[in-house]
Structure 1
Amino acid sequence: MKPLLVELIYEGDHCIPCVYMLETVEEAMAPFGEQVGLELVYLRQKEGGRRYQALSEDLGKPAPIPSIFINGKLYFNITPPVEDLQETFRALLGPGE
């Protein structure tokens, strides 16, 4: 099973909702080990800006800031409870995970 790629649209440490969302994602990922990977789409860096643009184009509108994409698909545009995010990971990973 290929690991999940979680991409967090992240404006910067000054963005309190972004920081809260990052903390939630990190906590939710902990039990999954290498089955779930995280990349920050850091808008203040050129590469992050390009990725944000690509995700927004796929979405058909500007991606929310912050938001959680999993394997390129928008899943959360508000910070979910840790349990909801873990449930999403389990569902995407499939049975036995």
Structure 2
Amino acid sequence: MARLVQEAITGFEDKIVYTKVITRTLDGANRHKELIRQNQGLLPVPSIIINGRLAFKTIPGKEDLVAVLHTLMDKQK
């Protein structure tokens, strides 16, 4: 999934902050717990969180992810 995200954000690097959370590390496990709290429930691994909210709980197609990113960026204009 990380590769998909990296491909999807190509060209948006100045507008998008991408952080990969590795739950096998202490920092990653703590971040995952915080995201669970923010989303009021368990999060699947892997998942894609955008602006603190669960956006994809399964691996999306690249086109689907790019479309969501475009929509969110258009709303922020």
Aligned position for 2:40: 60
Contiguous gaps of at least 5 residues in structure 1:
1-20
More strand by share: 1
Displacement after TM superposition at 1:33 (Å): 2.4
1:1-97 matches, cutoff 5 A: 21-94=1-74
Displacement after TM superposition at 1:42 (Å): 0.9
Q: Which gives a bigger RCO, structure 1 or 2 (Cα 8 Å, sep 6+)?
A: 1
| Corresponding letter in the other structure for 2:23 | L
Secondary structure of residue in 2 paired with 1:87: helix
Query: How many pairs were matched up?
Result: 76
The 2-side partners of 1:84 and 1:36 are apart by 16
Q: Which runs of 4+ in 1 moved over 6 A?
A: none
TM-score, normalised via structure 1 length: 0.72
Identity percentage of aligned residues: 32
